[in-house]
Amino acid sequence: MDTYIVNGGEKLYGKVQAQGAKNAVLPLLAASILTDEQVKIRGVPQITDVENMLRILRELGCTIKRRGENTLIDSANAISHEIPARLTKELRSSVFMLGSVLTRFRKARISYPGGCDIGLRPIDLHLSGLKRLGVRINEVGGFIECSADKLVGADILLDFPSVGATENIILAAVKAEGLTVIRNAAKEPEIVDLQNFLNAMGAKVQGAGGGTVVVEGVKRLHGVEYTPIGDRIEIGTYLIATAMCGGEIETNGVPPENIAALLHKLRENGCKIHTKNDKIVLQSCASLRAVDLVETMPFPGFPTDLQAQYSALCCTASGTSLIVENLFETRYKFAAELKRMGADITVRDRTAVIRGVKRLHGAKIVAGDLRGGAALVLAALAAEGQSQVLDLSHVDRGYADFEYKLKKLGAKIRRVRV
């Protein structure tokens, strides 16, 4: 098991270039099987979620070539519509394959997807949307079996602006007959990126980033070379780390409007922030003020994927912070580990009350999920003394070269095998 050894208390200085966004790259990889021509995606981060998605594509019959962060996908010989259960249990985003596999083969078989244990995350919205497009769905023994004689455009209203459901319906609709209208669609930047990727392949998708997405079905899609957007969650994590530890950081590759909700809160905490184009500069003296309330919301609200990291920041901010998690019901598992470090946190249901303490202290802590694991690393960086952060398999799902980038900023962190 890999572990981080962290000696806290160092200020952070330097620059960070955003990796390709995990939450953009995964649906792009899923979309690559919509054409039998080659697809080249640049800037694909070397993280385990990506590796698992590539394994799924190989199991379907695709040929994959990786050269650093450049990935070439050739799905001309893809023949299988069955998404392997052993891989879907490791990757929540494998559910994106439903829409694209249905479009390619008119049938698909997948087990219920896994990933981090942060709540139920039902896929009912995905399935109800696919049914509106003419898909027959049979759920048997933990598997979802889908088939359609043909896919036909429809008017679809989502009960909740789910990112995954919005993307899955788009992937199923790009070659459907007629027009598909998705109302109450998710507005995340990753939706816009998927639209741009598909349109570069010859699709006709418009409206992404707004509440209504319109997809006009086309007969075929062609190959493409594409560079995905930068990872706003990764960059947000480094900004929070610097706010906690003190210092100055410059990030590049993520426009400030993509993480405006976080930047607003960090300014309230007392950080100085300057932005220009896709550059963000943050200065912090590490003496932070608490904010009254943070509620996670769909974009452009405060992202749930930064809630754990921001909760870690609140642990040493002067005053009391109230955090409300509106999207996932069990996303506070990291709180018990922060308490080992001296944090004063009370969690009830979806709400956490965090009373800032003067300083956290080093401890042996366990990363239980991706973003919670990142939060524990940030807490260790800001704490007094040495910490061990155990089970990095979760952190590796979303952060490429995490310890290397932190070292470049001045953190005392190393990875060991225990």
Residue 99: strand pairing partners: none
Place of tokens 């946190």: 345
Q: Are 268 and 291 in contact (CB under 8 A)?
A: yes
Q: Which two tokens stand for residue 26?
A: 């995964």
Residue found by looking up tokens 């994927």 in the block: 305
Residue labelled with tokens 């009830």: 348
Task: State which amino acid sits at residue 111.
Answer: S
Does residue 34 contact residue 218 with C-beta atoms inside 8 Å?
Answer: no
In angstroms, the CA 31 to CA 106 distance is 15
Q: Nearest CA to 174 among 213, 132, 205?
A: 205
Catalytic residue among 116, 146, 245, 271: 116
Rounded Cα distance between 295 and 350, Å, is: 10
Helix-strand-coil percent breakdown of the chain, rounded to 5? 35, 30, 35
- b/e map of 290-302 (b: 16 or more CB within 10 Å)? bbeebbbebbeeb
- Rounded to 5°, the CA angle 110-112-118 comes to 145
Report the length, in residues, of the chain.
418
Residue 247: how many other CB atoms lie within 10 Å:
21
Yes or no: say if 166 and 173 are a contact pair by the CB < 8 Å rule.
no
The answer to whether residues 388 and 415 touch, using CB atoms and an 8 Å cutoff, is: no
116 in catalytic set: yes
Does the bond joining 303 to the residue before it have cis omega, within 30 degrees of 0?
A: no
Catalytic residues: 116
